[in-house]
Amino acid sequence: MKVLPILTYPNPVLHKISDAVTVFDKELEDFCTSLLVTMKSAKGYGLAAPQVGVLKRIIVVGVDEHPLVFINPEIISASEEMFPFREGCLSVPGYFESRSRAKTITLKYNGYLGVEHQRELSDVHAFCVQHEIDHLNGRVFIDDLSPLKKERIKTKIRKGK
């Protein structure tokens, strides 16, 4: 599988909402494998399909040696307890922000064959899944920052290219 180019902020594709996956075939499995290869190559903890220009509800998470693939992920419950972490993004290279997200989530998702599953995730896994699902909903983690801070980040990204 090949390494895919990762879109960087402020590419407008990053602010589009992704469509549900309805066809579960070998092409989907190959794309998911390419997402995993791309994430590992970029040394990221997660990657969402929109970050490589594909507006489908697919995310991969590689926090440890057991990478996870979630198709059509949906958070069905989240703890009130929060988990703090230094958040970054492959589409916003070189920028990190201390943030908190739900410590534990229950996720409903499809596997490669379209079978629906549920899984409870916590700590870094839960944090990363929440971050990647934001991408599927057209949100980048810096969207909540002030316009001035976002402009500085855009400038920094442009200079880094």
pLDDT level of residue 157 (50, 70, 90 thresholds)? confident
pLDDT in tens, 111-148: 999 999 999 999 999 999 999 999 999 999 999 888 99
Q: Which one is catalytic: 27, 97, 132, 151?
A: 132
Which phi and psi (to 5°) does residue 7 adopt?
-70, 145
pLDDT level of residue 149 (50, 70, 90 thresholds)? confident
Residue range 12-160 in CATH 3.90.470.20: no
CA 46 from chain center: how many Å? 5
To the query of whether residue 132 is one of the catalytic residues in this protein, the response is yes
Task: Select from 5, 38, 7 the least CA-distant residue to 140.
Answer: 7
DSSP 8-state secondary structure symbol assigned to residue 46: E
pLDDT level of residue 161 (50, 70, 90 thresholds)? low
CA 101 from chain center: how many Å? 14
pLDDT in tens, 29-81: 999 999 999 999 999 999 999 999 999 999 999 999 999 999 999 999 999 99
pTM assigned to the model: 0.95
pLDDT in tens, 2-19: 999 999 999 999 999 999
**Are 70 and 107 spatial neighbours (Cβ–Cβ below 8 Å)?**
yes
Domain assignments of the chain as residue spans, ordered by start? 12-160
pLDDT for the residue 78 = 98
